[in-house]
Amino acid sequence: MERMTPLIETRGLTIGHNRKPLIGGIDLRLCRGQVLCLLGPNGAGKTTLFRTLLGLIPPVGGEVALLGQPLSALSRTDIARRLGHVPQALATPFAFSALDIVLMGASARLGPFARPGKPERARAMAALARLGIADLAQAEITRLSGGQRQLVLIARALAQDAAAIVMDEPTASLDFANRLQVACAIRALADAGTAIVLSTHDPDQAARLGDAAILLNRDGVIATGPIQETLTEARLTRLYRVPVTRSLGTDGRMHFH
Ligand SMILES: Nc1ncnc2c1ncn2[C@@H]1O[C@H](COP(=O)(O)OP(=O)(O)OP(=O)(O)O)[C@@H](O)[C@H]1O
């Protein structure tokens, strides 16, 4: 029974700010090992949806459940146990080490005054190792490349031991090589069981990484469902309000122009 409980589920969710609805009718269901890609033009409401899923702003209507529990009944620590967060970029001027940053995730379950101990350090190191960056543990975060910093942020979410992670444009500021490396790391996490919701402005990336997609613009939810059926020419044209064509590469993957 537990295996069937979605990690994230929304029912009739309306998101918005200060009780003013932005988008309604959001019905999501995300299970173990799935990657759900959120696509939409600037200002559509992707960050607003993430902040709602994380319990940082209240829904204007409808419900969010994490592992079957209504979000409204969960404390911040309970939410952190269920849902990790990878922001677009790390905004810190401080010379934290990569390990310091990941320890923040590993300590998310501790009380506000508890100090991380051996188990938290072990969890943090294991998360760095899973992303192939254990050798960067002592490196100063300000000296890492954008791609390495993004992997550290993903390791921080992983060290939280949450079953699901939301990622706000995790590859937005990265060059081509770093984008591929981070995308591979994300897919590997999902293949190992983590559920991931990510926003992206790149339909090719969504086609490569995603199992499902949700398309949002100011008109609302344009489509949601399995990736192949959702990323159609007609729907992307409607989403972005420019003509979009879809082709199949020699690798069998969908590409969009
Ligand atoms: N704190 C806020 N208070 C009121 N309105 C806000 C607030 N934050 C965002 N908005 C508005 O909500 C709408 C959706 O913004 P949001 O940041 O969720 O879009 P987005 O899809 O993440 O955009 P982008 O792709 O540019 O990151 C925008 O019109 C924005 O101006």
The neighbouring-strand residues paired with 1 are none
For 181-235, what is each residue's pLDDT tens digit?
899 999 999 999 999 999 999 999 999 999 999 999 999 999 999 999 999 999 9
Q: Is the CB of 44 under 6 A from ligand 1?
A: yes
Taking CA atoms only, the protein residue closest to ligand 1 atom 4 is 17
Joined together, the tokens standing for residue 222 give: 């344009």
DSSP state of 33: T
How many domains is the chain built from?
Answer: 1
Burial of 43 (0-12, 13-18, 19+ CB in 10 A): exposed
Host domain of residue 9: 2-256
CA–CA gap between residue 16 and residue 12 (Å, rounded): 13
Side-chain half-sphere exposure of 139, counting CA atoms within 13 A:
14
Residue 57, domain CATH: 3.40.50.300
Inform me whether the pLDDT recorded for 75 exceeds 90.
Answer: yes
CB 107 within 8 A of CB 114: yes
CA–CA gap between residue 88 and residue 188 (Å, rounded): 20
Read off the pTM: 0.93
Q: Tell me the ipTM for this assembly.
A: 0.97
User: What's the 223 CA to ligand 1 centre distance in angstroms?
Assistant: 20
Taking CA atoms only, the protein residue closest to ligand 1 atom 24 is 42
